[in-house]
Amino acid sequence: MTIEQLPAAARIATETALKEAGRRWLGKSINRVEDPRFLRGEGRYIDDISLPGMAHAAIVRSKHAHARIVSIDTSKAEALPGVVRVVTGADVTAHAAPLPSFGAGPIIQDLIAIEKVRHFGEAVAAVIAEDRYIAEDACDLIEVEYEPLPAVIDPFDAQAEDAPLVHEKLGTNVAYERTFTFGEVDKAFAEAPRKVQAKLRWPRSTGMPMDTNGAIGEYDPGTGVVTIHANSMNFTYFHWLIAASLKIPATKLKVVPVAAGGSFGSKFFMHKVPTFAGFLAMLAGRPVKYVEDRVTHIVNNDHAGSDRWYDAELAFDDDGTFRALRIDCVDDYGAYLQFGTGTHGNGLSQIVGPYRIQDVQYSLHAVLTNKNQQGAYRGFGAECSNWMLERLVDMAARDLGMDRVEIRRRNLIAADQFPYRTPTGNIYDSGNYQGVLEKILELGEYEHWVAERDKARAEGRHVGIGVVASNERSVFSSTEFWFWFDQPEFKPTSSPESASLQIDPTGQIVVTLHSQCLWGNSPETVVSQVVAEEFDVDPAGIVVTYADSQHALPGTGPGGSRFTVMVSGAVAGAAAEVKEKLRAIASHKLEVSADDLEFVDGGVSVIGSPERKLSLAEIALAAYMFRLDLPVDVDSGLAAQSTYDHPLTTNPSDDRSDLGIFYPFVGHAWHIGVVEVDVETGKLSFLHYAAVHDAGTVVNPKTLNGQIIGGTIQGLGTALYEEYNYDAEGRVRNQNFEYYHLPSSMDVPTMTIAHQETPSPYTPYGIKGAGEGGRMLTPAVLSAAIEDALEPYGVRITSLPISAEQIVAWAASNWSG
């Protein structure tokens, strides 16, 4: 495949890429410009904001997983002094429309349960009160009479013909099923001399940010405008859907972005909480704050992670060459289907990993049960499928008696095969996987640790090595949400990002962003570095602001490791326009050709004559105040706005034998982890942990390392600790941090990190996304390392999390499979 075969947009983008020479600010480990306010405790998160006359809300959560609501007695709550209003499903029926859903229907989700509850923790009522203490007291006074219904908790039981239905109108609990076949899978399996097969279990966990989801609603009866301050990520992408739920025109809704104390997916199109706050404010006629408490966040947030049961097999030759992959996956979606099957579409963008596998079959069974709904969690499904694939690869190596590095090396896509079209149709834009492999073997001291492991094993110690690879797709278009359907109702192909750039009369640069993109990543630092690169100004002086939805241009926000690439494109576009105007004015005033000017040290100067220079402030003042000094064809002002579209995406084919290009900027990484396991206690000690990532052009090495380490440790939580514990009645047993363990500083390794930079030919500056890569590797590397350490017991790891109790039990029972 050559670049010429790609769409025109890609060729245009190529022209802006690869300007490596003379780079001044991109690639520097500058301190984050966001940091000082957070270090002083002035981060202004949602719960830090108070509005005059603001009331506070709390919700009554269902105690049942599945029950008919017979009656609700709110009289005692309403009689409590300080209670403003009690709200139930009857108010929702009267005044609101259902919440948006992107899945197959009809699966209706309401702000507060109407008629029946479908999962433990679902809201059945809300109280608005003068303070949060009173609101929670009043919740305890609300008497709900339930008629319990049989709950479906197991996704296999849920598929039985006589299973109780989560949604009667759907007529089944199987919300969606489809098999995609790419290539000649049956033939490949018939011909291949070897195959491995495994049933693999990926449990439900969640992003679990330290700051829960929250919003403050305001209602202005005079104008009819509802204002919602919210820490939801992509409010400009979908705010019109929130307006629809509130039954108001989108023009009467203003969503104001608020910094989030973490998301990891859990605030990605967070619709329930903002809609709720707006709805309560409309009913109360005054501002209402609704911030989830931790229990509510755990049992009722919008975004639990994937909950999968894989039956997967890999066919390969005697020399270790991979031939075909066949996957059957049951995913337990819980009671609603907000994002439909998008997390499986996401995985299909890199289902073959970094390997030359030609034939792939993927079957999905999306099943509804009486649990909280799924949404987004760092990796958006690709982290699960990567673990599945790497488990199969380790099994194949074992089957052949081949080294686990060697079998991977033999199957890696070669550097001269890019851009590489994968069987599903998605392309990998660029890469040098062999280069990353060589680096990780050195950084991970692979040979050394193999010898150490063998020595330890001879001494009766349990040391194990995990070595795994992963691709990291970045920058979604949007087709992964709908290519599942032959006749989709809604076919978005655009997920743009915008930026406005203005130079004020004093020469200071202000950039306005159009999504709520601040949740622990570094949008203001990225933007400042791009602006500094374009204008050669000090990034510390650049001001970054955020538009509200009434002023916002198209924006999608962070997600799918897209933001750095997309916002850089938007900022570069706006900068180019402003620079052209600066050049025109400077050319006029300095009486030189615009082509002879360059941007140096906060001004515009004549190339070769640096003393002939105008500062940005001098040009800006003229641009604002001295129209008669400007060229005749130049208007006053110095501002531009730019909307950057996905630079390389195509539609799927009608027959879906080709899903199109939908996630093409693909990084690559390897991790090596060395652990020692204490089989008496199950305790893990990390002897070494190394990671090499290739995320294209690095904008800021320090913050990129932060994303890699943070993602890796979040993946460690997935691998070792985290799982929603639903009992047989569908109640969540681990509703707080005592029982839902998050990794602490004592649980994690110190990592050694290196980078390779293979710039993308299609993105601004060659950047690729890198926010999710860490979590795509740790589950696989720890599975492999612990399995290797427990080799004397013949342990095979096929499910997560790998608990200490499980390790002790395996060793004690001498593993019986």
Give me the residues that bind other proteins (CB under 8 A), please: 31-32, 34-45, 47-48, 81-82, 133, 207-212, 259-262, 264, 293-294, 519-522, 702-703, 705-706, 709-710, 712-714, 736-738, 742-746, 748, 750-751
The nearer residue to other proteins, 292 or 694, going by C-beta atoms, is 292
CA distance 523 to 512: 11
Query: Which residue is it, tokens 């062999």?
Result: 434
User: Which residues lie closer than 8 Å to 196 by C-beta, 6 or more apart?
Assistant: 313, 314, 316, 392, 395, 396, 399
Residues belonging to the chain: 817
Distance of closest approach, residue 298 Cβ to other proteins, in angstroms: 10
Angle, vertex CA 144, rays to CA 142 and CA 147, nearest 5: 175
The helix or strand, by DSSP H or E, that contains position 294, with its residue range, turns out to be: helix 294-300
The nearer residue to other proteins, 294 or 491, going by C-beta atoms, is 294
The nearer residue to other proteins, 35 or 454, going by C-beta atoms, is 35
- Identify whether 523 is preceded by a cis peptide bond (ω within 30 of 0): no
The nearer residue to other proteins, 30 or 163, going by C-beta atoms, is 30
The nearer residue to other proteins, 574 or 709, going by C-beta atoms, is 709
User: Which residues lie closer than 8 Å to 42 by C-beta, 6 or more apart?
Assistant: none
Task: Report the SS3 class of residue 74.
Answer: coil
Q: Is residue 457 within 8 Å of residue 775, measured between CB atoms?
A: no
The DSSP secondary-structure symbol of 763 reads S
Query: For 63, how many CA atoms within 13 A lie in the half-sphere containing its CB?
Result: 9
Distance of closest approach, residue 302 Cβ to other proteins, in angstroms: 17
The nearer residue to other proteins, 81 or 221, going by C-beta atoms, is 81
Count of CB atoms within 10 A of residue 714's CB?
25
List the strands of the sheet with 253-257, edge to edge: 83-88, 123-129, 55-61, 288-291, 214-220, 225-230, 253-257
Distance of closest approach, residue 461 Cβ to other proteins, in angstroms: 20
The nearer residue to other proteins, 229 or 254, going by C-beta atoms, is 229
CA distance 165 to 68: 13
Distance of closest approach, residue 451 Cβ to other proteins, in angstroms: 25
The nearer residue to other proteins, 118 or 297, going by C-beta atoms, is 297
The nearer residue to other proteins, 523 or 682, going by C-beta atoms, is 523
The nearer residue to other proteins, 539 or 710, going by C-beta atoms, is 710
Q: Is residue 437 within 8 Å of residue 355, measured between CB atoms?
A: no
State the maximum Cα–Cα separation within the chain, in Å, rounded to a whole number: 89
The nearer residue to other proteins, 264 or 481, going by C-beta atoms, is 264
User: Which residues lie closer than 8 Å to 355 by C-beta, 6 or more apart?
Assistant: 322, 393, 408, 411, 412, 413
The nearer residue to other proteins, 36 or 794, going by C-beta atoms, is 36
CA distance 414 to 424: 19
Q: Is residue 112 within 8 Å of residue 89, measured between CB atoms?
A: yes
Q: Is residue 457 within 8 Å of residue 792, measured between CB atoms?
A: yes
Q: Which of 629, 693, 628, 675 is nearest to 785 (CA)?
A: 675
Distance of closest approach, residue 437 Cβ to other proteins, in angstroms: 24
The nearer residue to other proteins, 278 or 779, going by C-beta atoms, is 779
Distance of closest approach, residue 743 Cβ to other proteins, in angstroms: 8
The nearer residue to other proteins, 203 or 207, going by C-beta atoms, is 207
Distance of closest approach, residue 644 Cβ to other proteins, in angstroms: 25
CA distance 512 to 589: 29
CA distance 570 to 60: 43
The nearer residue to other proteins, 395 or 709, going by C-beta atoms, is 709
The nearer residue to other proteins, 31 or 434, going by C-beta atoms, is 31
Q: Is residue 13 within 8 Å of residue 764, measured between CB atoms?
A: yes
CA of residue 560 relative to chain centroid, distance:
5
Distance of closest approach, residue 721 Cβ to other proteins, in angstroms: 12
Distance of closest approach, residue 278 Cβ to other proteins, in angstroms: 23
Distance of closest approach, residue 261 Cβ to other proteins, in angstroms: 3
Q: Is residue 497 within 8 Å of residue 556, measured between CB atoms?
A: yes
- Amino acid in position 476: F
DSSP annotation string for 93-139: HHH-PPPP--SSSS----SS--SEE-STT-EEEEEEESSHHHHHHHH
Handedness of CA 23, 29, 34, 37 (dihedral sign): negative
The nearer residue to other proteins, 696 or 715, going by C-beta atoms, is 715
DSSP annotation string for 314-378: EEE-TT--EEEEEEEEEEEEES--TTTTHHHHHHGGGTTTTB---EEEEEEEEEE-SSPPB---T
CA distance 351 to 383: 10
Q: Which of 326, 82, 242, 149 is nearest to 729 (CA)?
A: 149
Q: Is residue 549 within 8 Å of residue 242, measured between CB atoms?
A: no
CA distance 27 to 640: 25
- Tokens for 603, please give them: 């001004």
- Amino acid in position 696: G
Distance of closest approach, residue 198 Cβ to other proteins, in angstroms: 29
- Identify whether 81 is preceded by a cis peptide bond (ω within 30 of 0): no
- Tokens for 766, please give them: 């060659």
